[in-house]
Amino acid sequence: MRDPVLALVPHPVRCKRLGDAVFALRATTRLIASGPLFPAAEMLAVRLRQSTGWPLPIAARRTDEAGESRIEFRQAATVLPDPEAYTLHVAAEQITITASTSAGAFYGGQTLLQLFPPAVFGGVPRPELAWHAPAIEIEDAPRFRWRGVMLDSARHFQPIDYIRKFIDLLAQHKLNVFHWHLTDDQGWRIEIKKYPRLVEVGSRRRETTKGHGKYRTEGDGLPVTGYYAQEEIRDLVAYATQRHVHILPEIEMPGHAQAAVAAYPKLGLLPKAREVSCRWGIHETLFNVKPDTLAFLQDVLAEVISLFPFDYIHIGGDEAVKTQWRQDADTQASLRQLGLRDEDHLQSWFIGQMAEFLRRHGRKLVGWDEILEGGLASGATVMSWRGAAGGIAAARLGHDAIMCPYDAVYFDYYQGGSPSVEPLAIGGDLPLHKVHAYEPAPAELPAEHARHILGVQGQLWTEYIPTTSRLDYMAFPRIAALAEVAWSPRERPPFADFVTRLCGHLRRLDCQDVRYRAPLEFLHP
């Protein structure tokens, strides 16, 4: 069994132990940092101060006194090839993290935390512990630049404090995109000042189907409510930015629209008002294509843009069953007026209107792979979820794509051998080793197209994830395996090595009260 202090997850590019020496953090240790690397030093210092109770001040320069105990952040003399790259050198008296950017320095700090005892993640002072890190040399850089996890806060609502903790956990795993699914048939969870009914009506669901939606329609009688106020979102974005996590907001259209249509029936095509949905599965409720509806949605996007600084905005685009558009005379008239062939092309036109709006505001559109149907909007980025085909098609067309296939990275799927021994989930079968074995770069893509595969992303849909402890259970440790797929080189150590490192890594999660699923079948096969 490997020394648990070397339980680095994700595995770095290169890593070499330097004998048996250790760096011993002391009450007198100082951090040295200035300029762009200072914020990364501050993030590291906060965590070390919390877990040791020591002052650990940050100074701009070292003193060069003999025996000065220091953790020094150094600007790389030449710009490293990857902006997120870093090197970490741990010796007996000093630790040096070298990076070109604040992101690289931050990731060097995250790796260093993993060299200290797991209690470094505990958040309470433990001055009695031996705060040792082994002497080591690490060179590291990410394989992919998009390393994401999507969380569905529409089907079930998670308190903002949990979202904050979740983002912190992503950063610890060197994941850098938090895709936030904020609207769906069963709930609208983002405050929009211009249209208050979106949360007044849209964030309240009367009840939820009991058991699996496929077999039962009886409701539980328990209301589900909750939304994120704009002030909370601004704070969250600042928190995520400090941790080099971009937040990608998703506002679903033209399908998954029922909560919005319940709030403002004029946006839809229904003969009579319908409530925020209390059941799961694909719904037929669509937004109509009237100019007022498009303007409404663009008003919503304008507020979303003002809250989230990320270059990208996600507009959904998945599972829009076109029945209502097909049966509605006004929609059909619009379709003919626009000279469009069919409803797929109408969806493509609809998404194109949003892409153009986002472009005018300096943002890029992301959508699920159905946005390929009827033609891909100019500059759109595709999330390939129904397998790899959507990502491959997008890349061949010269569009960027993110690999999110359900059979490799849908963390709402079962993860044990049999559903009969697991809490209720949506279905599927995605054990840890299958996540770890996933290869996001499609073999059939030549280099000029492969560069369009920006990265990989795990999905947490929450129909069957009603609580945050269940969310922890579904997310971890599969997110640790995802981190290795997204960050570590293609030639990463095998699964057995990952499992060995995971033993140490799970202790870090324990220290943070993460209610992960213990992967017992791999630890005691």
Q: How far is the CB of 368 from ligand ACM (least distance, A)?
A: 4
| Window 274-313: contact mask with ligand ACM (x via CB under 6 A) | ----------------------------------------
Distance between CA 145 and CA 399 in Å, rounded? 16
Q: How far is the CB of 415 from ligand ACM (least distance, A)?
A: 17
Q: How far apart are CA 387 and CA 90, in angstroms?
A: 42
Q: By CB under 6 A, is residue 368 in contact with ligand ACM?
A: yes
Q: How many Å from the N-terminal Cα to the C-terminal Cα in the chain?
A: 15
Where in 41-160 does DSSP place strands (E)?
58-59, 70-75, 86-90, 94-99, 132-140, 146-152
Q: Would you say 88 or 286 has its CB closer to ligand ACM?
A: 286
Give the residue with the Cβ less far from ligand ACM, 10 or 367: 367
Please work out the total of residues on this chain that contact ligand ACM, with binding judged by CB under 6 A: 4
CA-based nearest residue to 404, from 382, 377, 426: 382
Q: Cβ-count burial of 331 within 10 angstroms (0-12 exposed, 13-18 middle, 19+ buried)?
A: buried
| Distance separating alpha carbons of residues 133 and 130, to the nearest angstrom | 9
Q: Which CB sits closer to ligand ACM, 164 or 212?
A: 212
Say how far apart CA 182 and CA 204 lie, in whole Å.
13
Please, what is the minimum distance in Å from the beta carbon of residue 386 to ligand ACM? 8
Bond preceding residue 159 cis, omega within 30 of 0: no
CB-nearer residue toward ligand ACM: 181 or 244: 181
Does position 464 interact with ligand ACM (CB under 6 A)? The reply is no
**Which residues, other chains included, contact 399 with Cβ-Cβ below 8 Å and sequence gap of 6+?**
376, 379, 380, 381, 382, 452
One of 385, 413, 473, 516 touching ligand ACM (CB under 6 A): 385
Give Cβ neighbours of residue 138 (< 8 Å, ≥ 6 apart): 8, 12, 14, 15, 16, 87, 88, 89, 111
Query: Would you count residue 373 as binding ligand ACM (CB under 6 A)?
Result: no
What DSSP element (H or E) covers 396?
helix 389-396
Q: Binding residue for ligand ACM (CB under 6 A) from 318, 356, 373, 429?
A: 318
Least spacing, CB of residue 152 vs ligand ACM, in Å = 9
Quick check: helix, strand or coil at residue 466?
Answer: coil
Minimum Å gap between C-beta 4 and ligand ACM is 37
| 370 φ, ψ (degrees, to nearest 5) | -60, -20
Q: Of 156, 179, 246, 256, which is the active-site residue?
A: 256
36 Cβ contact list (under 8 Å, min separation 6) = 75, 101, 102, 105
Backbone φ and ψ for 247, nearest 5 degrees, come out as -105, 125
Q: Would residue 513 show up in a list of annotated catalytic residues for this protein? A: no
In the complex, least distance from residue 407 CB atom to ligand ACM, rounded to whole angstroms: 12
Catalytic residue (choose from 137, 207, 319, 342): 319
Round to whole Å and give the CA distance between 324 and 335: 13
- Residue 330's CB is within 10 A of a number of other CB atoms, namely 12
For ligand ACM, give the closer residue by CB, 23 or 368: 368
Q: Which is nearer to ligand ACM, 368 or 411 (CB)?
A: 368
Rounded CA-CA distance 503/477 in Å is 11
Give the CA angle between residues 221, 222, 226 to the nearest 5°: 145
Neighbouring CB atoms inside 10 A of 383's CB total 30
Q: Give the residue at shortest CB distance from ligand ACM.
A: 318
Distance in Å, CB of 319 to ligand ACM, minimum: 5
In the bound state with ligand ACM, the residue whose beta carbon lies nearer, of 303 and 407, is 407
- Least gap, CB of 478 to ligand ACM (angstroms): 16
| 209-248 footprint of ligand ACM as x/- string (CB under 6 A) | ----------------------------------------
Is 407 one of the catalytic residues?
no
Choose which of 137, 232, 319, 407 interacts with ligand ACM (CB under 6 A).
319
Choice between 411 and 516, CB closer to ligand ACM: 411
Known active-site residue 356: no
Residues forming the active site = 184, 256, 319
Residue numbers at the binding site for ligand ACM (CB under 6 A)? 318-319, 368, 385
